[in-house]
């Protein structure tokens, strides 16, 4: 296993549960917390700088906080869109009887 992959594996092993709990307390939802914790480690993998991290929990929390802000913003936008759709008047479709005439 390459050195950076080993460092990432160690970070995941040592901090994943902590990060997921940290996110769960802020989001109030275990499933969303698990998704964002996974996304945080994917970001770390893509960055390729795991070996240079001095304070892993601070770094992970910073990345996760940014992902959480994006997630909450997207969820708020989706909710507003769904509410706007729900408030639209329903299209009136002719009944089957009217269509048959």
pLDDT 10s digits, 14-34: 999 999 999 999 999 999 999
Looking at residue 28, what DSSP letter applies?
A: S
| Separation CA 14–CA 26 (nearest Å) | 20
Whether residue 12 has pLDDT greater than 70 = yes
Whether residue 42 has pLDDT greater than 80 = yes
Inter-residue contact 84 to 42 (CB < 8 Å): no
| Separation CA 30–CA 70 (nearest Å) | 17
């Amino acid at each position: 296993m390459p050195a950076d992959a080993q460092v990432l594996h160690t970070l995941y092993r040592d901090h994943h549960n902590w990060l997921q709990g940290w996110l769960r307390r802020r989001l109030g939802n275990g499933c969303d917390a698990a998704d964002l914790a996974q996304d945080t480690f994917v970001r770390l993998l893509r960055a390729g700088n795991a070996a240079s991290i001095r304070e892993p929990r601070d770094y992970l929390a910073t990345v996760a906080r940014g992902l959480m802000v994006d997630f909450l913003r997207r969820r708020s936008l989706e909710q507003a869109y769904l509410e706007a759709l729900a408030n639209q008047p329903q299209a009136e479709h002719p009944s089957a009887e009217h269509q048959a005439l």
